[in-house]
């Protein structure tokens, strides 16, 4: 738990890093989603929430953007709760794909999508969410998002949803192919509506940081103290975030940053470090993987400067204390 006197120091560090990264990475931007977001290229928000409820934030933290693929985290979580681990694993794997998020690739040996953080797996996870009809499924998922964020006003942006449904040919093709292979059942259009409705929910970086903190707090919202997911489900969700959450850059992310995360083409990145904090970044310029350029660069900087990589040597960090480093390290002798 951060000491009260450290909070101002943490805030100061966040503001300095925000300023340092505001003008970095523009040459790495490959695309914006949607193209209208090019006009918002200047936006950059950072937010953190500790599991004790302490919050830090700076920049465009109140700018609402669509969750997009970050929603896959929460759809997978509710699918697990509704069906149990074994039933879900029979339908969706947990292996990194190494391919773009919208690729048409499967675990052919087990006749299932590779993982729930790519479109194929997320479509199956949406199908596994319990509900009598599309509206009930969407409402159940929305209610979970609200519990995670501690924000009862989260809703589907109908304009974004209409745009998503209008440019959805690849997901339609993927759905029909999976149905033909026995991976997906039921009405394709209805299932796509559930999936895309969650992608169309607008959140702020402040919301997203609390969602990450709720995951870090084993499914209990640190602010409202309401449970959003059972502990066992959170464990499984974070595990898959750690290996599959950053599209086909997941391996490089694990090497550079190491913190379980999920990105979305809306420009957001969600972080969660169990028993410590949740974090969020928003900047719409995307790299070739579909990840926020400023967000990725910022996370790399945070991990290296403050020892936040889970496998880093023990040291003091900006989000609570580990055991101090050995004050008398042994010298390395080279022949």
Q: Which residues contact 4 (CB under 8 A, 6 or more apart)?
A: none
Catalytic one of 72, 124, 293, 296: 72
User: CA-to-CA distance for 103 and 174, rounded, in angstroms?
Assistant: 9
Catalytically annotated residue among 92, 94, 160, 247:
247
Q: Which 8-state DSSP code applies to residue 263?
A: E
For the question of residue 69 being annotated catalytic, the response is: yes
Tell me which residue has tokens 């940081």.
209
Active site residue 262: no
One of 265, 292, 293, 296 is an active-site residue; which one?
265
For residues 85 and 254, what is the distance between their CA atoms, to the nearest angstrom?
24
Q: Determine how many CB atoms are found less than 10 A away from the CB of residue 30.
A: 11
63 catalytic residue (yes or no):
no
33 assigned to active site: no
Residue matched to tokens 């190491």? 258
Catalytic residue among 29, 69, 129, 233: 69
Contacting residues for 272 by C-beta, under 8 A, at least 6 apart: 212, 213, 215, 216, 238, 241, 259, 260, 261, 278, 279
Nearest alpha carbon to residue 257 among 200, 299, 202:
299
From the candidates 195, 203, 233, 240, give the one annotated as an active-site residue: 195
- Annotated catalytic residues are 69, 72, 195, 247, 265
């Amino acid at each position: 738990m951060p000491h009260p006197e450290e909070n101002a120091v943490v805030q100061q560090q966040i503001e300095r890093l925000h300023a340092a990264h505001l003008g970095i990475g523009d040459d790495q931007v490959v695309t914006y989603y949607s193209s209208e977001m090019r006009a918002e290229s200047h936006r950059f928000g950072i937010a953190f929430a500790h599991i004790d409820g302490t919050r830090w934030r700076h920049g465009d933290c109140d700018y609402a953007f669509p969750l997009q693929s970050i929603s896959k985290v929460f759809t997978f979580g509710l699918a697990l709760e509704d069906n149990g681990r074994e039933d879900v694993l029979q339908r969706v794997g947990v292996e990194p794909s190494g391919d773009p998020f919208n690729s048409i690739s499967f675990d052919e040996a087990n006749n299932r999508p590779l993982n729930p953080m790519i479109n194929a797996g997320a479509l199956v996870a949406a199908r596994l969410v319990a509900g009598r009809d599309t509206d009930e499924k969407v409402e159940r998922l929305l209610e979970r998002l609200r519990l995670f964020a501690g924000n009862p006003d989260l809703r589907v942006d109908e304009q974004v949803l209409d745009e998503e449904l209008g440019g959805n040919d690849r997901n339609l093709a993927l759905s029909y192919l999976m149905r033909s292979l026995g991976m997906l059942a039921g009405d394709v259009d209805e299932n796509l509506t559930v999936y895309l409705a969650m992608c169309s929910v607008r959140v702020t970086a402040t919301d997203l940081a609390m969602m990450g903190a709720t995951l870090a707090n084993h499914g209990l919202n640190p602010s409202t103290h309401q449970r959003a997911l059972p502990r066992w489900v959170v464990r499984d969700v974070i595990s898959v975030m750690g290996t599959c959450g950053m599209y086909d850059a997941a391996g490089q992310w694990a090497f550079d940053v190491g913190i379980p995360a999920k990105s979305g083409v809306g420009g957001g990145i969600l972080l969660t470090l169990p028993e410590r904090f949740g974090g969020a970044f928003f900047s719409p310029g995307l790299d070739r993987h579909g990840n926020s350029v400023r967000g990725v660069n910022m996370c790399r900087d945070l991990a290296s400067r403050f020892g936040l990589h889970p496998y880093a040597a023990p040291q003091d960090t900006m989000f609570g204390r580990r055991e101090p480093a050995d004050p008398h390290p042994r010298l390395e002798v080279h022949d």
